């Protein structure tokens, strides 16, 4: 297992032209869950919960991979709109994984045994892949030369169809190019092609914490001063809240056996705090909507403690950002967090990827 | 030119001319003279006694020659160095020659060979004799069998482009199988790092190429050892 990657904090503003929040959200294709921490709120605002309403994602059981190369799928869905497709219930370091990115690239993340039997050329390995004997095959579905009758297409089709018959359980969600087309048509398309198609629902959870100690944050001073906490401690606290860890408060001098973690000083006491969590398969567009709704909500209800949004990717996603392979760090390269201030400023905390 | 050897030569060749000279006279005169005078004396002496065709003047250069080039340097032979010719090139060159003799390589040309091989292997392993084939014995026989004409396909390989190639074996060397594919192509597949399969009457024989690197002639006599690891 590789050591943890370096972490990066970006301080910027949403109104800044060069703000990278849009690229960051859109390049992070496969999102498994989000956590919102909203101090001084009893429930998640309506505008945020509405974002998840019209989102449709499907679980495809035992779909053969060669179905993804077929012309109707490529022309009808991949080239129009954005397809997010990822294999589920797999383990990145021991199983084969597959994904189709919105950029139209089929990524196969293969173990040594499968690769030596499949017959498709892999991209050069990274160091971590070399150590783990992992091979990554990229097939560009949107390429001009990739259509039936061409050698490359026929070979890929033959290898995936006749030789091994790779099958996966997939999660798929499709964002149409046209607002008149319903995103459910992708589910209909796959009904005859695989064993079972079912709607993959999001699970939403909301908790309200009362009288919770929150760290005091000063936007300009991430390194920590007397009035504000160090950013790493803030993010550690956010993680503890998201995981529902019982925090020790020093006033009561509670000696907790399980955890001795306490809110970093300096702190402010928050009468209420809402933690809203959504798990499932969430495309980046939805996260962008959530972010927008949250910004509007935050500027309407300014509070002393900023709100935060944490996005967690799939642990078995073969790629993290664009085509950068997922190297399976312990702390995860596919997590990012926003801390939003009322005045459009934000902190973006990420683990760096190569 | 020294005087003494020339005088001796003359003694042998022109013995008659010497009759007139006394030995003491000759030796005394030569010893007393200086080197310049000695040369003129010898020249005039030779002019008197030698036949005209053997007399050469300094101005006549026709008989003079001198090597301009250094005699020790030899011209390098320009040939193929031994290291440059790999086993593969040699085999290919041989094969090309062979195939040119046959004018055009087509898969159908080798179909009779395949039939012959099938008959041969059926006789060897006796598929029809009993319903339950003695598999270890069959495998032993297969290891020693001649594989020319056998339909072979590559199931696994470290190199992805070899995977899935199938055809009739037309040549087997220590390191290679040369196949002719149904697309009338000649493909040379190294035995190392590949796993091959032969399908025969509902039986699938698997050849682990790494263990099979033996000359086809020696293979019949070789004793195969069981290897614990079969990873590529």
- Measured CA angle at B82 (ends B77, B86), to 5 deg: 145
**Residues of A with Cβ-Cβ distance to B161 under 8 angstroms:** 119, 121
C-alpha closest to that of A310 among A259, A237, A225: A237
B158 contacts in A (CB within 8 Å)?
Answer: 116
Q: What is the arithmetic mean of pLDDT over B16-26?
A: 53
Mark whether A170 and A209 lie in a shared domain. no
Summarize the confidence of residues B3-22 as an average pLDDT: 50
Specify the pLDDT at position B11: 45
Q: Read off the pLDDT of residues B50-109 as tens digits, 9 standing for 90 and up.
A: 887 777 666 666 666 777 766 566 666 665 555 555 666 666 665 555 554 445 678 888
Res B25 pLDDT > 60 = no
- Sheet harboring B203-208: ordered strands across? B186-190, B176-180, B166-172, B151-157, B194-200, B203-208
Percent of chain B clearing pLDDT 70 (strictly above): 63
Residues A211 and A287 in one domain: yes
pLDDT of res. A190:
86
Residues with Cβ within 8 Å of A256's Cβ and at least 6 positions away in sequence, in order, are A246, A248
d(CA A179, CA A46): 23
Interface touch A119/B232, C-beta < 8 Å: no
Residues of B within 8 A of A119 (CB-CB) are: 160-161, 163-164
* CA B81 centroid distance within chain: 9
- For residue B189, the model assigns a pLDDT of 92
In sequence order, what E strands does A101-166 have? 105-111, 134-140
Is the pLDDT at B186 greater than 90? The verdict is: no
Tell me what the pLDDT averaged over chain B comes to.
76
A131-140, A181-190, B16-25, B197-206: lowest mean pLDDT where?
Answer: B16-25
Distance from CA of A152 to the nearest CA of B (A): 12
Pick out chain A residues at pLDDT < 70: 1-5, 248-257, 304, 328-332, 352-354
**Residue B151 — very low, low, confident or very high, per pLDDT cuts 50/70/90?**
very high
- Given pLDDT bands bounded at 50, 70 and 90, which one contains residue B153? very high
B160 touches chain A (CB under 8 A): yes
- Chain A / chain B CB contacts < 8 angstroms: 25
Q: Are A324 and A226 in a shared domain?
A: yes
Mark which of A164, A199, A234 sits at the end of a domain: A199
A339 with A208, same domain? Answer: yes
User: Does residue A146 fall inside a structural domain?
Assistant: yes
Nearest CA in chain A to B156: A117
Q: Record the tokens describing residue B38, joined without a space.
A: 């000695």
Q: Which residues span the domain enclosing A179?
A: 57-199
- pLDDT tens digits for range B109-149: 889 999 999 999 888 887 766 667 777 888 888 888 888 99
Q: B158, B163, B187, B208: which to substitute to probe chain A, counting the most A Cβ within 10 Å?
A: B163
User: Which H helix or E strand runs over A341?
Assistant: none
- The answer to whether position A79 is within a domain reads yes
Q: What is the pLDDT of residue B57?
A: 65
A277 inside domain:
yes
Query: Looking at per-residue confidence, does B93 or B156 come out higher?
Result: B156
pLDDT of residue B197: 92
Picking from A163, A182, A199, the residue at the C-terminal end of a domain is: A199
Q: Could you tell me if A133 lies within 8 Å of chain B, comparing CB atoms?
A: no
Q: Cβ B163–A117 below 8 Å, yes or no?
A: yes
- Tell whether A1 is covered by a domain: no
Superfamily of domain B87-219: Ribonuclease P/MRP, subunit p29 (2.30.30.210)
**A173 shares a domain with A68:** yes
* Contact yes or no for B158 and A121 at CB 8 A: no
pLDDT of residue B195: 92
Same domain, A182 and A210: no
- Position B196 pLDDT exceeds 90: yes
Whether A113 and A20 map to the same domain: the answer is no
Same domain, A262 and A123: no
Q: Where are the domains of chain B?
A: 3-54, 87-219
């Amino acid at each position: 297992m590789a050591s943890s990657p370096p972490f990066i904090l970006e301080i910027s503003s949403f109104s800044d032209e060069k703000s990278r929040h849009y690229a960051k959200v859109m390049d992070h294709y496969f999102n498994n869950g989000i956590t919102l921490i909203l101090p001084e709120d009893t429930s998640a605002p309506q505008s945020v919960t509405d974002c998840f309403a019209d989102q449709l994602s499907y679980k495809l059981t035992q779909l053969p991979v060669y179905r993804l190369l077929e012309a109707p799928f490529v022309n009808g869905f991949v080239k129009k709109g954005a397809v997010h497709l990822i294999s589920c219930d797999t383990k990145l370091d021991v199983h084969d994984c597959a994904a189709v990115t919105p950029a139209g690239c089929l990524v196969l993340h293969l173990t040594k045994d499968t690769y030596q039997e499949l017959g498709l050329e892999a991209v050069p390995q990274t160091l971590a892949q070399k150590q783990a004997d992992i091979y990554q095959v990229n097939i560009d579905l949107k390429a001009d030369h990739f259509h039936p009758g061409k050698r490359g297409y026929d070979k890929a089709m033959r290898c995936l169809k006749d030789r091994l018959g790779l099958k996966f359980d997939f999660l798929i969600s499709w964002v149409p190019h046209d607002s008149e087309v319903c995103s459910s048509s992708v589910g209909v398309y796959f009904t005859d092609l695989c064993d079972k198609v079912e709607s993959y629902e999001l699970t939403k959870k909301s908790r309200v914490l009362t009288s919770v100690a929150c760290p005091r944050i000063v936007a300009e001073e991430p390194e920590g001063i007397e009035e504000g906490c160090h950013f790493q401690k803030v993010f550690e606290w956010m993680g503890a809240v998201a995981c529902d860890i019982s925090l020790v408060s020093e006033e009561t001098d509670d000696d907790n056996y399980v955890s001795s973690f306490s809110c970093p000083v300096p702190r402010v006491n928050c009468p209420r705090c809402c933690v809203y969590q959504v798990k499932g398969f969430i495309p980046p567009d939805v996260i962008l909507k959530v972010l927008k709704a949250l910004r509007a909500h935050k500027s309407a209800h300014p509070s002393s403690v900023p709100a935060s949004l944490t996005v967690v990717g799939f642990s078995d996603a073969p790629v993290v950002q664009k085509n950068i392979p997922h190297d399976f760090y312990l702390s995860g390269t596919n997590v990012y967090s926003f801390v939003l201030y009322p005045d459009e400023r934000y902190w973006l905390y990420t683990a760096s990827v190569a | 030119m020294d005087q003494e050897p020339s005088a001796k030569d003359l003694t042998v060749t022109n013995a008659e001319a010497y009759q007139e000279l006394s030995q003491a006279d000759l030796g005394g005169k030569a010893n007393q003279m200086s080197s310049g005078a000695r040369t003129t004396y010898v020249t005039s002496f030779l002019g008197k006694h030698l036949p005209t065709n053997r007399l050469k003047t300094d101005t006549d250069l026709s008989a003079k020659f001198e090597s301009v080039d250094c005699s020790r340097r030899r011209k390098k032979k320009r040939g193929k160095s031994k290291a440059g010719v790999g086993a593969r090139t040699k085999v290919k060159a041989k094969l090309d020659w062979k195939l040119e003799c046959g004018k055009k390589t087509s898969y159908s040309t080798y179909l009779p060979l395949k039939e012959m091989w099938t008959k041969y292997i059926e006789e060897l392993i006796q598929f029809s004799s009993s319903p339950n084939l003695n598999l270890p014995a069959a495998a032993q026989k297969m290891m020693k069998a001649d594989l020319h004409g056998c339909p072979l396909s590559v199931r696994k390989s470290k190199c992805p482009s070899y995977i899935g190639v199938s055809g009739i074996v037309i040549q087997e060397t220590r390191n290679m199988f040369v196949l002719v594919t149904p697309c009338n192509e000649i493909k040379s597949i190294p035995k190392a790092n590949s796993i091959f399969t032969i399908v025969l009457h509902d039986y699938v024989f698997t050849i682990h190429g790494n263990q099979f690197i033996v000359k086809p002639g020696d293979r019949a006599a070789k004793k195969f050892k069981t290897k614990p690891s079969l990873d590529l």
